[in-house]
Amino acid sequence: MLGCRFRLHFEICVAHTSLMITAGTIVGKIAELIVTKSAMLIGSLALDKRRKACRSLTKLYYCVSALDEAADDILRTFEEFRSGGIADALMNALNNHMHEVAYATDMFVDLGYELEAGLEIIDPALATTCHTLYRGKYDFLMFMSTSIAWDRTQERARIVISAPTGAMDMVDLDAMYEQSQLALGRGEKFYWPESALDDFRVGFENVFVEWQDDITAGKVHQMLVRQRAALGEAREKLRALLAEKFKIEEILFLSNSHPYR
């Protein structure tokens, strides 16, 4: 009976896990664009603008760091359970660290408009290009928050995961940035650069993992390894940007939580 109660609790927990780590390459791609463009423009900002922009970038760094650490914890736990089988290890790893992933996802939601306003200070075209993280962000995070769940339509329950197809990784953000510059230069106030990032559901496919399905679980594990690598790289680039372009008093600067006020 204890085992049954544990399995029931286990399944309920996994069904509510937010798996934004499957979007690690997308988050990393956008963060890299922010670092590249910001590095060239921050130096020309007035002091008060620099502080507000720095606050937004610092919060973005903490968001990416939290997601990166959650992904790392999942992969570490996976290795601890590997002796019991790859599928069993994957399910246990996801279950054991659901709270860290949910917390990291919530941090991106909380960052919201502050990041957009901070990027507006640095470069309006950059803010427009990165809209996936805030304007369309809530739909995206809502989709990602339900990207892992139990499927009980079969004789034996299994887990369904929304895994990236790679289509969104192919988006040319530099081209989107140039299009945004041209549109804003023409005086367009509500320009929205279209790309595969808008139709994010097409960028993911359902992958079913069963308790004894080590082959599929192995593929999901390798996908998570790639997502973790992308997050780690983005985290380091954000850290380097903050260290090289801002003073410690700017990083620790606090006035209010809204740089657009």
Residue type, 119: L
Provide the pLDDT for residue 140. 59
Q: Which CA distances in Å does 212 have to 15, 81, 87, 91, 155?
A: 18, 14, 6, 11, 14
The pLDDT value recorded for residue 3 is: 43
The C-alpha angle 141, 250, 104, rounded to 5 degrees, equals 20
Here the tokens at position 35 are 């670092």
Q: Which residues of the chain fall short of a pLDDT of 50?
A: 1-18, 137-138, 259-261
pLDDT tens column, 10-57: 443 443 444 566 778 888 888 999 999 999 999 899 988 998 899 999
Judge whether 195 and 149 are in contact, CB under 8 Å: no
Residue 170: what pLDDT?
82
- The SS3 call for residue 67 is helix
The pLDDT of residue 166 is 80
Taking residue 12's Cβ as centre, other Cβ atoms within 10 Å add up to 11
